[in-house]
A and B are shown apart, each in its own frame.
Chain A
C-alpha cells in the first residue's frame, strides 16, 4: 500500500469503472454503472443529472458511505491523493472522511445533531482529525463559524441546530466540512433546500472559501444554472452512466448528447422567453430495468437501429469532449447537433 501523496502529479480524485448495485424487491438496481470521473486539485467540477441518475450514490460511494442493501462492485476504483479508498481499512477511511475529503449534504435540517451544541459539533471534527487540545479545537470552531458568516459566533456556538434558519444551518455544515481544510469538497445539492436569495449567499460564501483555501469542489446538482455559473468542467449523468463530459462553456454552447440537448431545451429561462418548452418525452426508466442498447434511446429524437442494439461507449468528439452517443461518429452531427440524413439502415454515416 502506497502512502499518501504517493503519486504527485496524478489527479486529486480519480474514479474508474465505479459500479454500485442495490438489491431490491424488483431485482438488482444498477444505480451507478461504470462511472469514470476525474477531479484535479483546486478545480470545480459539475456532476449534473436528474433524480435517480446515480449522482448522489456516486458521491456516497467515493466516501464509502453506501449502506446495505447497496454494494460497491469489485473492480470499482476510487483513488484520492494516490490512495485507493475502496481498499482502505474502515479505520483509515474514517481518517480520510471529513479531513482531506469532506461532504456537504442537501439536507441542513437533518445533517446536524440536534442534542449537541453547534460549536461542539465543529470542535469534534477538528479533534477527531487533528488531535489538538480541547481549547484549540474550540478556538478553531469559532474561527470557522466566523468564516462562514455566522453573526454573533460566540453565542451561536453554544446554541443548537433548531435555533437556526435553513440558511444558517447550511453555513454550519459548511463550517464543519471545511474545518479541517479539506483538499476536496463533494457538495451534493448544497443549496437545493434553500430559497434563491439564500442560495446565492451560500454559493458566494463557498466560492470565497474555495479561493482562500485552494480546495477542489465536486458540485453535484440538477440545476443547469448552477453548473453554468460555478464550474469549469461538467459530467452529465443519465441512468447510472456518464453520458457527456465537456468544458462548461463548450457544453452550454453546443451540447453533444441528445439528452443534454433535451435537458437544456426543457429549462424555462429568465433570459429567454420560450413559447413552448421542448419536453423530453417519457420518463427516466427505473434502475432495475435500464433499456438495452443506449439507455436514452427510447426517449431520443435521433435514435436509429444501432442505438437499440448496442450500447455506445463514451466517444471522443475530437475537441476534448466525449459523449455516449453513436452520433458522435457523424461529422455533420458534431458540427450542428443535428444528424446527417441517414437511410433506414443508417449506421451514423454521414461521412462525405
Chain B
C-alpha cells in the first residue's frame, strides 16, 4: 500500500511556490529629460501555485508581464502588493542573509544563456561559482562536481575548460542549466529556455529538462510564448494577458476546450504542421493595449471577438471562476 503521507488530517500539503494577489507596478520616466512619469502595471493581482515536482506552464505574448512575474518571484524586482511564498516562507519578508540561502533553492534558466554565463569565465568556473558561494564543495571535490554536472546535462567533462562563445546555442543552454543545477535547487524558473534554439536542438533541451525533473524531483515554472512547447512540458497551464491570469487549468482541458476568448484566439493562431487539417482561425484586431493604461472592465475587451460582448465587459473586470474541474477562466461570457 502506498498512499501519500500527509502531515496530519486537515492540513493540506502546501505547494512549493504560492503566489497570491501579486502586483508589480513600475514608475517609468518618459518625455524630454524624464519630466513625465507613468506607472506601468506589469503584474496585476496574479495568484498561482507550483506544486512539488510539478511543472506550471505560464503562457503569454510579449509585454503580458510573465517575465516580470518571474523576476518578482526571484526577488529581482520589488512587489507593489500581494505575497509570494516558497515552501511556506514569505519571500518578500526575508532578511538579506536568508534571501541568499533561499536563492540556492530557487534558480533561473534564461532564454539567452549569455545572460547567466560570464563571457570571460570558463564554463567550469561559472558552474563552480555557485558551489563556492553556497559552500557546497571546494577544491578537488568541486572539480569533480563540475564534471558530474556537465555530464548530467549531456556535455563532455572537457567543456569545463571552454568559454561560452566556443559553444553552440544548445550547448550554452545546457551549460546554463548545469550552472543552475549546481546549487541543488528545488524550483527552476525557466524563462523562454528554448526560444532561441533551432527546432532540432530545442527538442534535445526539452528532453533534458524533463529527464532532470524525473531524476531530481525538480519543480518548474516554465514561461514561454510557444503554446506547443508549453503543452509538451506542462500538465498545468496559466495564460496571462496584460498583467493578469485570464485562464488556468489542466493542460489537457485547456487545450481541448479553452474557455477564455483570448486563449481561444491564441491557440487558433498557432500554425499546425499539417497541411491537410487546417483549423479556423480567430484573428484578433489591433495590438495589446499598453500596461500603462489598461482598459477598464475586462482587459481583453477591446480585441475580444466574443459574439456576446456587451456593456458589462467594458465596465466590470471579470474574476477567475471555475468553469470545469480545476479549470478557471476570467470571462463574463465564457
Contact flag A228-B272 (CB < 8 Å), given A266-B202, A279-B200: yes
Complex Cα spacing A276 to B274, Å: 19
Q: What are the residues of chain A within 8 A of B171 when measuring CB–CB?
A: 283
Determine how close the nearest CB of chain A comes to the CB of B112; give it in whole angstroms. 14
Residue of B nearest to A199 (CB): B269
Q: What are the residues of chain B within 8 A of A263 when measuring CB–CB?
A: 199-200
Complex Cα spacing A49 to B276, Å: 21
Residue of B nearest to A49 (CB): B198
Q: What are the residues of chain B within 8 A of A197 when measuring CB–CB?
A: 61, 265-266, 269, 283-284
> Chain B interface: which size bin?
35 or more
Q: Chain A residues in contact with chain B, CB under 8 A?
A: 50-51, 151, 165, 167-168, 195-201, 204, 222-230, 248-249, 252-253, 262-264, 266-271, 273-274, 276-281, 283-284
Is A267 within 8 A of B273, CB to CB? yes
Could you write out 5 A-B pairs with CB less than 8 Å apart?
A196-B227, A201-B283, A268-B232, A271-B272, A280-B204
Q: What are the residues of chain A within 8 A of B227 when measuring CB–CB?
A: 196, 270
Is B231 within 8 A of A268, CB to CB? yes
Is B206 within 8 A of A277, CB to CB? yes
How many A-B contacts at CB < 8 Å in the complex? 125
Q: What are the residues of chain A within 8 A of B291 when measuring CB–CB?
A: none
B287 proximal to A (CB < 8 A): yes
Complex Cα spacing A195 to B232, Å: 19
Contact flag A195-B277 (CB < 8 Å), given A270-B255, A270-B267, A277-B232: no
Q: What are the residues of chain A within 8 A of B198 when measuring CB–CB?
A: 50-51, 222, 284
Closest 8 CB pairs of A and B: A225-B271, A279-B203, A277-B203, A268-B232, A200-B269, A280-B200, A195-B61, A266-B203
Complex Cα spacing A51 to B210, Å: 25
Is B225 within 8 A of A196, CB to CB? yes
Q: What are the residues of chain A within 8 A of B61 when measuring CB–CB?
A: 195-198
Q: What are the residues of chain B within 8 A of A278 when measuring CB–CB?
A: 203
Contact flag A225-B270 (CB < 8 Å), given A248-B275, A252-B275: yes
Contact flag A270-B200 (CB < 8 Å), given A200-B283, A277-B206: no
Q: What are the residues of chain B within 8 A of A268 when measuring CB–CB?
A: 203, 206, 226, 228-229, 231-232
B118 proximal to A (CB < 8 A): no
Determine how close the nearest CB of chain B comes to the CB of A300; give it in whole angstroms. 12
Q: What are the residues of chain A within 8 A of B202 when measuring CB–CB?
A: 266
Contact flag A201-B200 (CB < 8 Å), given A195-B61, A225-B272, A269-B228: no
Is B200 within 8 A of A252, CB to CB? no
Complex Cα spacing A222 to B200, Å: 11
Residue of A nearest to B168 (CB): A283
